[in-house]
Amino acid sequence: MATRESIKLFTNRNCPWAHRVHIVLAELGLPFEEEIIDYSKPRQPEYLKINPRGQVPTLTYGDHIIFESAFIAQFLADSVTSTHLTPRTGEAQGALIRHRIAFFVETYFSKANIYYYRAIEAKTDEDADELGKRYVDAVVKEVEPLLQDAKPFFGGSDKLTMAEVLTASFILRISTLPHTENAPLPNTMVAGMEEKAPKFFAWAQAAMKHPSVNGIYNKDGCAAEMRDRRAKARGLNQLLILHSVPN
């Protein structure tokens, strides 16, 4: 599959938002140039000219600059003549499938994934455990009912859809980071999921095993970065507590 314009992705492979774009590029087989943006260093002026916010991902497509991971992913899917990622099986049917996918993605992020960063940055392990339980509860209540026809992917598809492209990078981290050394995510985020949300569990397992999803994933690197994030958050929390104590 070819593209008329050159593609360059400014990314950091530990970032789940940037990971979304890697998934769609791999699934579409699009050739691209990659430039890693190092979080630990100030953004270079050359990159700030491309993205003044200094965030990742950013994609250049020929002379065009495209921001925000979901928009980049959809643009890439739309840029090819035909792909399973963007339904084109008739206007009404395709529109309904796109609506279902959009609703699923919005539901997952607004109801469940909100606990991902909250759990990492929780003040205490006990707070993190409670947030992990809330994630499972949200998956059971809000997400599980939307996956009743997943076989193995969203809507009964046997290939990845945009539902997986836009959520799997986070699900991969949530499912694996609790099992790392000095885990930055609580085990309560995954405990009992197979029994409580079997459709979600099976769907997530299928997505995580897909080479387009796990091809760039570095569990140890992501775990180390999230441990640093937790340490900084807890250090700041302790500092705020100290400053709030009357002299």
Count of other CB atoms within 10 angstroms of residue 168: 27
What is the pLDDT, as a whole number, of residue 220? 97
- Please tell me the pTM assigned to this model: 0.91
* Residues 90, 143, 68: CA angle, nearest 5 degrees: 65
What is the pLDDT, as a whole number, of residue 223? 97
1: Cβ contacts below 8 Å, ≥ 6 apart: 28, 29, 30, 80
81: Cβ contacts below 8 Å, ≥ 6 apart: none
What is the pLDDT, as a whole number, of residue 59? 98
Angle between helices 69-79 and 16-28 (to 10 degrees): 10
What is the pLDDT, as a whole number, of residue 90? 64
CATH architecture of 7-79: 3-Layer(aba) Sandwich (3.40)
Three-state DSSP state, 11: strand
Enumerate residue ranges in the chain where pLDDT < 70: 1-4, 88-90, 236-247
Q: What is the pLDDT of residues 116-162, one digit of tens each?
A: 999 999 999 999 999 999 999 999 999 999 999 999 999 999 999 99
**Nearest Cα to 156, choosing from 219, 84, 227?**
84
- DSSP lists the bridge partners of residue 33 as 8
The C-alpha atoms of residue 137 and residue 222 are separated, in whole angstroms, by: 25
What is the pLDDT, as a whole number, of residue 162? 96
What is the pLDDT, as a whole number, of residue 94? 82
What is the pLDDT, as a whole number, of residue 7? 97
**Nearest Cα to 165, choosing from 98, 229, 67, 95?**
98
The C-alpha atoms of residue 154 and residue 158 are separated, in whole angstroms, by: 9
Strand 58-61 and strand 7-11: the pairing is antiparallel
DSSP letter at 181 equals T
What is the pLDDT, as a whole number, of residue 86? 78
What is the pLDDT, as a whole number, of residue 84? 84
What is the pLDDT, as a whole number, of residue 237? 55
- DSSP lists the bridge partners of residue 10 as 35, 58
The C-alpha atoms of residue 170 and residue 166 are separated, in whole angstroms, by: 9
- What's the CATH class of domain 92-234? mainly alpha
Distance of CA 182 to the CA centre of its chain: 22
* Residues 32, 33, 34: CA angle, nearest 5 degrees: 115
What is the pLDDT, as a whole number, of residue 89? 58
Q: Do domains 7-79 and 92-234 have the same CATH topology?
A: no
The domain ranges of the chain are 7-79, 92-234
Residue type, 129: D
